[in-house]
Amino acid sequence: MKEALGDTTMSKLKTIEREKRFGAHNYKPLPVVLTRGEGPYVWDEDGNRYLDMMSAYSAVSHGHCHPKLVEALRQQAGTLNVVSRAFYSDKLAAFLERACELTNFDKALPMNTGAEAVETALKAARKWAYTVKGVPTDKAEIIACEGNFHGRTLAIISMSTEKQYRAGFGPFLPGIKIIPYGNAAELEKAITPNTAAFLVEPIKGEGGIIVPSAGYLKACAALCKKHNVLMICDEIQTGLGRTGKLLAFQHEGIKPDAIVLGKALGGGLLPVSLFLSRKEVMDVFTPGDHGSTFGGNPLAAAVGFAALNVLVEDKLVERAAKLGEYFQDALRSINSPLIKDVRGKGLLIGVEIDARVPAHDICLKLLKRGVLTKETHNTVIRFAPPLIVTEEQIDETVKALSEVLVEMNVGVAS
């Protein structure tokens, strides 16, 4: 792995300043300008190579520019791209069938981004509550968890507990209840006859890679069934092999009523998302109830179909299980007082750092050593590489982190 150059080039400065000048400041990227990607690597405009330990929050699980996916994109792009759902296309049916077959759900509704899929799930849950469960009009309730991240639309931030996500964007959607994460007893206390759904991440991603205790999801599933409440798992980041199972809820041996998928579903090439559920839930939608101009377009369907097939053919789920264990063991072998915890499942891993040392500063030093990642909640460094990563590349990353922690520990009071 070539070490990144420390000198800031004029070209990089110009690119960054142009984006700041003409773009909204709703992101604060690390100071690197990327121009090319292949497999688990990306390159900047100076030709420096980096190991991508973020994979775009799991959107690049297949690796950058996977040749099979690029070819599927190329072929379809030269054939038919967008026609809207006003007409049938020859690609969507196969994509939906493959998704339902792999996930064992009856039906799927295609959208574009993960947030759109969550919005679709919320609308489905509310209409199901009114038309099937018998909840009085406009009284349906949705339960979500503290520290969740389901997106940033107005409806979704209504269930967020992150102050910055909400500040200045009210008023918020009514009918939302927030409960502590990882406590099934709190779920039971929150359920009323008007509860439509419980929306939950099997592992909290943006919330700090928080893995609930064993049995939590199983207990929640039992409670939802007992009280006729839809259990909806947000698998946008955890799904499609990331945690060492096709879907993260499978670690608990359960099946929720519905799931939302996104990110890796587009193979790192396009935004593609799905809401999947059983027939009784999906059939609440009638023509005109819900839709998207781009959702389910032939280009997205072709790439999504190929992404699901590559996931199976290349045994990426199995790789995530094996290499995730290897990665976590290697991280736990680092002898540093700055590491407070290593947690996760598969290749979704969080390293919690002593709060006296900003995790962001560690990410900046990793950048200089050719490793790209980003902190969350100020104290957790994420490691979620493409599922094609090798043991050797993991070793390089762990070595770089170990060196940075030694450097950062100098001068830190014990």
Q: Nearest CA to 338 among 393, 403, 392?
A: 403
Give the pLDDT confidence score for residue 410 in this predicted structure: 74
Categorize the per-residue pLDDT at 411 as very low, low, confident or very high, splitting at 50, 70 and 90. low
Residue 226 in this model has a pLDDT that exceeds 70 = yes
d(Cα 244, Cα 250) in Å, to the nearest integer?
Answer: 10
If DSSP codes are grouped into helix, strand and coil, which group holds residue 276?
strand
Give the pLDDT confidence score for residue 412 in this predicted structure: 66
Cβ count within 10 A of residue 246:
21
104-127 burial code (b ≥16 CB/10 A, e <16): ebebbbbbbbbbbbbbbbbbbbbb
Residue 386 CA to its chain's centroid (Å)? 13
d(Cα 380, Cα 376) in Å, to the nearest integer?
Answer: 5
Q: What are 341's two structure tokens?
A: 């915890």
pLDDT digits (tens, 9 = 90+) for 135-187: 999 999 999 999 999 999 999 999 999 999 999 999 999 999 999 999 999 99
Categorize the per-residue pLDDT at 413 as very low, low, confident or very high, splitting at 50, 70 and 90. low
Give the pLDDT confidence score for residue 9 in this predicted structure: 62
Categorize the per-residue pLDDT at 333 as very low, low, confident or very high, splitting at 50, 70 and 90. very high
Mean pLDDT of all residues in 60-84: 98
Q: Which residues contact 283 (CB under 8 A, 6 or more apart)?
A: 107
Q: What integer best gives the mean pLDDT of the chain?
A: 95
- Bridging pattern class, strands 371-372 and 195-200: unpaired
Q: Per the omega criterion (within 30 degrees of 0), is the bond before 171 cis? A: yes
DSSP alpha helix (H) spans, 237-377: 279-282, 298-313, 316-332, 359-368
| In the chain, % of residues over pLDDT 70 | 97
**Residues facing residue 198 across a β-bridge:** 143, 231
Categorize the per-residue pLDDT at 240 as very low, low, confident or very high, splitting at 50, 70 and 90. very high
Amino acid at 309: N
Give the pLDDT confidence score for residue 13 in this predicted structure: 84
Angle 112-278-82 from CA coordinates, rounded to 5°: 25
d(Cα 144, Cα 162) in Å, to the nearest integer?
Answer: 13
**Are 197 and 232 contacting, i.e. CB atoms less than 8 angstroms apart?**
yes
Mean pLDDT of all residues in 106-134: 98
One of 3.40.50.2300, 3.40.190.80, 3.40.640.10, 1.10.3720.10 is the CATH number of 67-313, namely 3.40.640.10
Q: Max CA-CA distance within the chain?
A: 66
pLDDT digits (tens, 9 = 90+) for 195-213: 999 999 999 999 999 999 9
Residue 5 in this model has a pLDDT that exceeds 90 = no
| DSSP H or E run through 107 | strand 107-111
| In the chain, % of residues over pLDDT 90 | 94
Task: Give the residue numbers annotated as catalytic, written as ranges.
Answer: 149, 234, 263
pLDDT digits (tens, 9 = 90+) for 346-369: 999 999 999 999 999 999 999 999
pLDDT digits (tens, 9 = 90+) for 250-282: 999 999 999 999 999 999 999 999 999 999 999
d(Cα 65, Cα 63) in Å, to the nearest integer?
Answer: 6
Dihedral pair phi/psi, residue 91, rounded to 5°: -110, -30
Parse the chain into domains and list their residue ranges: 1-53, 67-313
**Are 8 and 356 contacting, i.e. CB atoms less than 8 angstroms apart?**
no
d(Cα 223, Cα 218) in Å, to the nearest integer?
Answer: 9
d(Cα 24, Cα 167) in Å, to the nearest integer?
Answer: 17
